[in-house]
Structure 1
């Protein structure tokens, strides 16, 4: 029986169960080949993959966040061995540190860049939507100054945020900007990381930050842009990186035997 018909566990605004335990309970009543994804805006992209692979009967199931995807992956052997499961998650800060060995499995697929937004940005060559790029480059440099320091701290202490909105970073007072970049005692400026981020910002900068910066710089153009519309536009005409996710998902289900 399909999970979409059997689940009665919901959260507000979503037809899907919220917690990992609830999702596991739903999956126990499913026989569909299921692709577990984070949920949110990325579903826009993965629905297109679902459509592209409709001949395989794959169902996309949003898990309400990356931690849930990874926990479901760890608990997959609690489910029937005949249930075909694959997982897709953002690479996140593992784009810097590498994917841990326990998550290097064929049925767990990661984005090439930090997140699906990065892969969409590159596949769609979205920087070409900008007219004059001077303002974008200036603001990108300012964002990367903050992000390099915030990320270096986050990699040592994951409770520290790297998700501040671009408007909060760019539109604050000069004093606030200086405060954000002030080093603590004994802290060194992450020059190498800042250089790397500038060279590969399209893959390494947090994807939602990158898209927010792009949308900020597209305001005022004749065509109104938003992140969801851009995700959809690129997903229906995928490039190298979205195609790779799709082919990896297809290969996973094609080669999946009884054991996971």
Structure 2
């Protein structure tokens, strides 16, 4: 793990003011590899990438975009809860992913799910159903929250949510106050499962089966993200590249 200190909002704004290069401002350092790959698809590769250390920091910098309005700066972010709420007017110049996060767009536009062995398909589908129930519960809880700074609490690792593929962890369920979501919410999430459920968990689910003991080869979630990213023919990623190209051309 890197010990590199993330620059402050003021430091990043100052860097953007001085920049002579077109710059893609992205959320976090974990996304740098992905956006470097997407940058390689641009007609001009003389483009800098500036990670911010998180979504809230990116938005704080975006709020100060008037300070570097003469620079060629493009913001890119995960849609997150905007997937369900819609994008606010003051953020509509940001390029957002189609799914909940960039991993969703990578996953949905690939054939990586076909890597699951036939003998694991039933257990894999059961795990997806368990994650669906949990996610739908969290979405209902989010929608019922009337506070201004509410967040959709869906960052838990699948090993915490369901360690054994057969049930939601009782301790985890108790801690979050889990209750069964209604049918309408389950159907809503399920109808676009691979776009709605957080992409990191989609790859975690795959990795659980692709790294189990006894397999000929083992794949971590990051291995699977890289494979899916480079499979080609992904219309969702091509849309992101086109949006970056267009905004860099007019910025």
Do these two structures clear the TM 0.5 threshold for a shared fold by scoring above it?
A: yes
Residue 56 to residue 255, structure 1, CA distance change in 2 (3 Å)? farther
TM-score, with structure 2 as normaliser: 0.85
Shift of 1:181: 6.0
How far did residue 140 of structure 1 move?
0.9
State the partner residue of 2:199: 207
Q: TM-score, normalised to structure 1's length?
A: 0.82
Residue matched to 1:244: 239
Q: Which runs of 5+ in 2 are unaligned?
A: none
Change (3 A) 1:209 1:173: closer
CA displacement, residues 209-252 of structure 1 (integer Å, 9 cap, x when unaligned): 22211211212332321222233233334411111101100011
Q: 2:171 aligns with which of 170, 176, 188?
A: 176
Q: 2:7 aligns with which of 18, 38, 45?
A: 18
- The total of aligned residue pairs comes to 237
Does the Cα contact within 8 Å between 2:142 and 2:152 map onto a contact in 1? yes
**Any idea what SS the aligned residue of 1:57 has?**
coil
Partner residue in 2 for 1:7: none
Unaligned runs of 5+ in 1: 1-11
- 8 Å contact kept, 2:203–2:224: no
| Residue 76 (structure 1) aligns with | 65
SS of the residue 2:13 aligns to: helix
Distance 1:232-1:160 versus aligned 2 partners, 3 A rule = closer
Match of 1:9?
Answer: none
Contact 2:211 2:220 in 1 (8 A): no
| Pairwise CA RMSD | 2.3
- How far residue 166 of structure 1 moved from its aligned partner, in angstroms, is 0.8
Closer, same or farther in 2 for the Cα pair 1:174/1:249, shift >3 Å?
Answer: closer
